[in-house]
Amino acid sequence: MFRSIDEAAKYIRDNGVEAVDFRFTDLFGVWQHITISAGEVGEETLENGLGFDGSSIRGWCEIHNSDMSFVPDVTSAFVDPFFRRKTLVFCCDIVDPITTEKYNRDPRNIAGKAVNYLKQTGIADTAYFGPEAEFFIFDDVRFDSSPQGAFYFLDSKEGTWNTGADEMPNLQYKPQFKGGYFPVPPMDSLHELRSEMVEVMEKLGIVVEAHHHEVATAGQVEIDVRFTDMLKQADIMQLYKYVVRNVAVKNNKTVTFMPKPLYGDNGSGMHCHQSLWKDGKPLFSGSGYAGLSQEALWYLGGIIKHAKAIAAFTNPTTNSYKRLVPGFEAPNKLAYSSRNRSAAIRIPIVNSPKARRVEIRFPDPTANPYLAFSVMLMAGLDGIENKIDPGQPLDKNIYDLDPVELSTIPSMPGSLEESLAALEEDHEFLLKGDVFTPDIIEIWCDYKRNNEIKPLSLRPHPMEFSMYYSY
């Protein structure tokens, strides 16, 4: 929005801005903010930022070394569409107030370092990313976990389980399980809500390419944004999630990006289209398989080689691995193909060399976009630098293969614990250019084990009562 600090400060003074919101992303992908009265924000604040207690942010510094500053990136500014008072928002970088160096655990800084490393290699100067985030919209969500009981309950007026509900009247038009892909209204009851989400995004400068209902019965949808350079795209994905959640709440609905909230139906992924460019020319277009260049095939080789480690960031929750199972269009097998959507990597069919790209299909939308995009880029670059062969393409339906042939195809991890163990064994490629640091790998694995895997493993599951109560 702005090209300089002076331009931003002038806009605040001259355009009726009442408050300024400083936002940053924690290690695990949650947007945080503080709001300052506009009269307190001038050139000095925009240049040096504001201090805060970094020890209160998950996975960051200890209390004895907790002073941090968030410094706004003025080029990221937008006016918040949901606040009553006119509020200008900046995405911020986290800075050590003593050394003035960017904080190594700040996800936005990590993504920036990944882009810088790309340029330092000389391979390319731009990485374009185009994520396709899917999510669920529900009408009612309830859950609880206590020593003597646990439950969750989700409901959607679209849910096929409500065909017999007394809705006074029940007008039906409810997609069946796996029957929600592309129907027109009234079966697609969420068209107008998605259109409102798109309208808000477009007013904020996000280029939206398409939106539609997704496969699952109950409120699963997708809104696709146009590709752009990697760091900007990560900023956009944070804003994307913010918009869809707030528009949903405004309409008395709720959104979740959980990959697998519903048992027995398709889960939500975040397919990531990627390409590298140099001097304005696409590097992934060539005469190889599906029109790919040799560099693109090596990029795929890096993704496949490091996929299990990558998954610790691209599929970062215990729920992620309930999606990566056969039978629900989830790509749990590490193969690539030009048309096969059951493969982990797809090569879209395009007419223009400029549109040539690869689509990594296993990530899901619980991922922190700054980290997820960075690990995929670093893995792909490692593939190019080391000329890693991706093997032969698989232009067959993976789910129709006989067990012997299927066993020869590597799989995605089956659990978060498996992906964390892979990350601990295979992360040297992430340390290049100081993009990631060993302490980030360590804190990520420790936090996930102690705060997500362990609490879940200690609690009885309702299904266990069904299986074992009468033993």
308-334: pLDDT as tens digits: 999 999 999 999 999 998 766 678 889
Start-to-end CA distance of the chain, whole Å, equals: 65
- 263 and 315 co-located in one domain: yes
- 295 and 328 co-located in one domain: yes
CATH (domain of 95): 3.10.20.70
- 206 and 347 co-located in one domain: yes
Contact 361, 345 (CB under 8 A): yes
CB count within 10 Å of CB 101 equals: 9
Residue with tokens 């050590």: 96
Amino acid residing at 218? A
So what's the pLDDT on residue 455? 95
- 38 and 183 co-located in one domain: no
- 47 and 196 co-located in one domain: no
- Report the candidate in 24, 26, 28 with the shortest Cα–Cα distance to residue 447: 28
On whether residue 457 sits in a domain, the answer given is yes
On whether residue 278 sits in a domain, the answer given is yes
- 456 and 336 co-located in one domain: yes
Active-site positions read 53, 132, 134, 214, 222, 271, 341, 359, 361
- 160 and 94 co-located in one domain: no
On whether residue 341 sits in a domain, the answer given is yes
- 44 and 180 co-located in one domain: no
Annotated binding-site positions for L-glutamate: 266-267, 323, 329, 341, 361
- 142 and 80 co-located in one domain: no
On whether residue 108 sits in a domain, the answer given is no
Angle at the Cα of 438 from the Cα atoms of 434 and 441, rounded to 5 degrees: 110
Residue with tokens 């979740």: 256
* Boundaries of domain holding 415: 126-468
On whether residue 169 sits in a domain, the answer given is yes
Give the C-alpha distances (Å, rounded to integers) separating 265 from 132, 177, 178, 326, 466: 19, 6, 6, 12, 21
Q: Which is it for strands 333-337 and 343-346: parallel, antiparallel or unpaired? A: parallel
**pLDDT tens, residue order, the chain (471 aa):** 788 999 999 999 999 999 999 999 999 999 999 999 999 999 999 998 988 877 788 878 664 456 889 999 999 999 999 999 999 999 999 998 888 899 999 999 999 999 999 999 999 999 999 999 999 999 999 999 999 999 999 999 999 998 888 888 988 888 888 888 888 999 899 999 999 999 999 999 999 999 999 999 889 999 999 999 999 999 999 999 999 999 999 999 999 999 999 998 999 999 999 999 999 999 999 999 999 999 999 999 999 999 999 999 999 999 999 999 876 667 888 999 987 667 899 999 888 889 999 999 999 999 999 999 999 999 999 999 999 999 989 877 776 777 887 778 888 999 999 999 999 999 999 999 999 999 999 999 999 999 999 999 999 998 998 999 899
On whether residue 29 sits in a domain, the answer given is yes
On whether residue 168 sits in a domain, the answer given is yes
On whether residue 118 sits in a domain, the answer given is no
So what's the pLDDT on residue 56? 80
Annotated binding-site positions: 132, 134, 209, 214, 222, 266-267, 271, 273-275, 323, 329, 341, 354, 359, 361
Annotated binding-site positions for Mg(2+): 132, 134, 214, 222, 271, 359
Q: Which is it for strands 254-256 and 140-146: parallel, antiparallel or unpaired? A: unpaired
**Domain count for the chain:** 2
Q: What are phi and psi of 361, to 5 degrees?
A: -100, -10
